[in-house]
């Protein structure tokens, strides 16, 4: 049994004044003045207890879930990976307290040679099934679910934002994929980097847009997403890394970050932008301003790091994304909700994302008040997953899998 004493509590939505939180058998047992005699006491004075963070957009490889947990990210929503490897990592996370829990999209939907296939060319993913026509959608979705996908990721990208023309899914096939997933009561997450593909995805009935478009503003889209109930995961941090405003090196030098990075994570975080052509120059004010429009229109916004992309690191980059969301106009409290209660609600993770009796004791204790200063989320005193304290010492890098 654990007793956090005299700690301010951010419950996923609101800040509660200093109180006590009791954890028993891996679950939050009580929020309020309490004094169980046999509990391990943790002094919470001057600190805030927040729910374990949920990263709503990442790609997982061995070692990533441990890296995430060291930075208080206790649930990772993978948005495209090798389903066999994801299954192994998920099974490992179920028994080990030192790594984040995992949900996965597994194989994402794209056309042969379409967006995403470069990961095969680079040796990062084994070759995966693709589709072209709407009548293939139902079988494609059924196969993903039998492989263990929790939701369906769909890639709609003609390569125009990076100046590399790529074949892409048709609007008809996109619609058929969304319908097939909905028939099986699964969410659809659509990768969209252009205003046009974002609009296409929304009109196809996609539940979640992954990324924000960088090519041009999309007048009226925020209101349309709001009325459709579409959720958005802007991934501002990775858009900065991809399109010329990298911040990974600064982050890696932060004394609150450096000691907890494995060498491979440090290299990834500090590698700087991938060289792209003139066509890949975009005004990053577009996604920033779109975030503000979405917020004002009442669209649900989720925080996603898009780690393992160049310039990111699991765990760390989610903190950076929270700062970027605040920079774009969310309040610190809204940004914290975007990484706790909101993704839990969106993805049906009913046992987490908040601090109240009955929920999993996925918890992060940080100095100060992150609901007024988002930078404090990196001032981590401790991380607990399922009531067990996460050892924050980085281990040896895992070997290639």
Q: Which spans of this chain sit near Zn ion (rule: CB under 5 A)?
A: 79, 306
Nearer of residues 157 and 334 to Zn ion, judged by Cβ: 157
The residue among 79 and 93 lying less far from Zn ion, judged by its C-beta, is 79
Please state, in angstroms and rounded to a whole number, the distance separating the CA atoms of residues 99 and 385: 8
Task: Give the CA count within 13 Å in the CB-facing half-sphere of 116.
Answer: 29
User: Which residues are bridge partners to 101 per DSSP?
Assistant: 75
By CB atoms closer than 10 A (0-12, 13-18, 19+), residue 10 is: buried
To Zn ion, the closest distance from the beta carbon of 187 in angstroms equals 16
Nearest to Zn ion of 2, 79 (CB atom) = 79
Q: Which residue's CB is nearer to Zn ion, number 120 or number 258?
A: 120
Q: Give whichever of 20 and 150 is closer to Zn ion, judged by the CB atom.
A: 150
| CA 261 – CA 316 distance, rounded (Å) | 9
Tokens for 181? 């997933």
Tokens at residue 309, please?
A: 């992309």
> Which one, 293 or 306, has the nearer CB to Zn ion?
306
DSSP 338-352: TTTHHHHHHTT-TT-
User: Could you tell me the two tokens for 364?
Assistant: 């992060």
* Least Cβ distance, residue 56 to Zn ion (angstroms): 11
Nearer to Zn ion, 55 or 306 (CB): 306
Distance CA 146, CA 250 (A): 42
Q: How far is the CB of 63 from Zn ion (least distance, A)?
A: 18
Contact present, 189 and 149 (Cβ < 8 Å):
no
Given the DSSP bridges, would you call strands 101-104 and 152-155 parallel, antiparallel or unpaired?
unpaired
Q: Cβ 64 to Zn ion, closest distance in Å?
A: 13
Give the containing element (helix H, strand E) for 242: helix 236-242
CB of 70 to Zn ion, least distance (A): 21
Closest Cα partner for 362 from 5, 12, 19, 46? 12
Beta pairing class for 47-51 and 208-210: unpaired
Report the residue number, 9 or 105, with the smaller CB distance to Zn ion.
Answer: 105
Instruction: Write down the least CB distance from residue 304 to Zn ion, Å.
Output: 8
Provide the token pair at 168. Answer: 């892409």
Q: Residue 95 burial by CB count (10 A; 0-12/13-18/19+): exposed, middle or buried?
A: exposed
| Residue number closest to Zn ion, CB atom | 306
Q: How far is the CB of 300 from Zn ion (least distance, A)?
A: 19
Shortest distance, position 209 Cβ to Zn ion, whole Å: 12
């Amino acid at each position: 049994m654990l007793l956090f004493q005299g700690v301010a509590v951010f419950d996923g939505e609101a800040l509660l004044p200093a109180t006590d939180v009791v954890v028993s058998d891996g679950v939050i047992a009580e929020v309020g003045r309490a004094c169980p005699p046999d509990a391990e006491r943790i002094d919470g004075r001057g600190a805030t207890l927040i729910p374990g963070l949920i990263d709503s957009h990442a790609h997982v490889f061995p070692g990533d879930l441990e890296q995430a947990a060291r930075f208080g990210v206790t649930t990772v929503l993978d948005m495209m990976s090798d389903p066999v490897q994801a299954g192994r990592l998920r099974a490992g996370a179920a028994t080990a307290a030192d790594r984040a829990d995992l949900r996965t999209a597994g194989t994402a939907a794209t056309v042969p040679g379409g967006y995403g296939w470069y990961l095969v060319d680079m040796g990062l993913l084994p070759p995966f099934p693709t589709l072209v026509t709407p009548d293939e959608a139902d079988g494609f979705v059924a196969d993903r679910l039998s492989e263990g996908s929790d939701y369906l990721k769909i890639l709609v990208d003609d390569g125009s934002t990076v100046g590399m023309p790529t074949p892409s899914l048709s609007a008809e096939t996109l619609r058929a994929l969304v319908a097939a997933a909905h028939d099986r009561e699964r969410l659809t997450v659509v990768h969209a980097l252009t205003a046009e593909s974002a609009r296409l995805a929304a009109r196809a009935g996609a539940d979640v847009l992954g990324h924000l478009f960088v090519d041009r503003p999309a007048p009226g889209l925020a209101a349309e997403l709001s009325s459709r109930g579409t959720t958005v995961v802007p991934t501002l941090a990775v858009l900065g890394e991809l399109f010329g405003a990298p911040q990974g090196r600064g982050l890696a030098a932060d004394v609150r970050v450096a000691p907890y990075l494995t060498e491979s994570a440090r290299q990834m975080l500090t590698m700087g932008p991938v060289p792209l052509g003139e066509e890949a120059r975009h005004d990053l004010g577009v996604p920033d301003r779109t975030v503000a429009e979405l917020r004002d229109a009442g669209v649900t916004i989720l925080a996603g790091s898009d780690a393992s992309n160049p310039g990111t690191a699991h765990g760390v980059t989610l903190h950076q994304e929270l700062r970027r969301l605040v920079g774009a106009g969310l309040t610190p409290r809204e940004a914290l909700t975007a990484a706790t209660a909101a993704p839990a609600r969106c993805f049906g993770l009913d046992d987490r994302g908040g601090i109240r009796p009955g929920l999993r004791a996925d918890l992060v204790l940080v100095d100060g008040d992150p609901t007024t200063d988002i930078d404090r989320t990196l001032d981590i005193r401790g991380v607990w997953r399922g009531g067990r304290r996460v050892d924050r010492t980085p281990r040896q890098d895992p070997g290639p899998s």
